[in-house]
Amino acid sequence: MATKEKEKDLKKYKDEYKVSSPILIDENASAANAYGVWNRPETFFINREGKIIARALREIDWTSNNMKDLIQYLLKEKK
């Protein structure tokens, strides 16, 4: 979710870093405000019921063992 970035910068970023997931533009920061985001990046994990089940308040190394363990834990919790 991008708040302040311009569309052309986002396209460049997506190409450069080969980002496959969708990037949404949050005009006027309305989504960021609704989620209470005061830091960037900030990550929310949302389950199938639409409930926030975890939140990370800083940059994440998605390949780290900690992150793998967290995702495994969250998936087990919700099965």
Partner 1 sequence: MDLKEILVLISILIFGFSGMRCATSKEESKTFPKNYVHPLTEINLEKVFSENRGLKILEENATKVHDYYRGGVQDKEEGERLLKESRWEEARKHFEKSNRFLRVVLKYLPEDEAYRTVYEGQTVIFLPNLLIADNTLKLVSVYRNLKNLDMATQAIAEGQRYLAESQKSVKTEWAVQIKKGFEEELARK
Least distance CB 56 / partner 1 (angstroms): 9
Instruction: Find out whether 57 and 42 touch, Cβ atoms under 8 Å.
Output: yes
The secondary structure of residue 6, as a DSSP letter, is: -
d(CA 23, CA 36): 19
Least distance CB 16 / partner 1 (angstroms): 8
Tracing tokens 């708040």 back to the chain, one arrives at 3
Site residues (CB under 8 A) for partner 1? Answer: 1-6, 9-10, 12-13, 16-17, 23, 26, 29, 31-48, 52-53, 57, 59, 71-72, 74-75, 78-79
3-state secondary structure of 4: coil
Least distance CB 67 / partner 1 (angstroms): 11
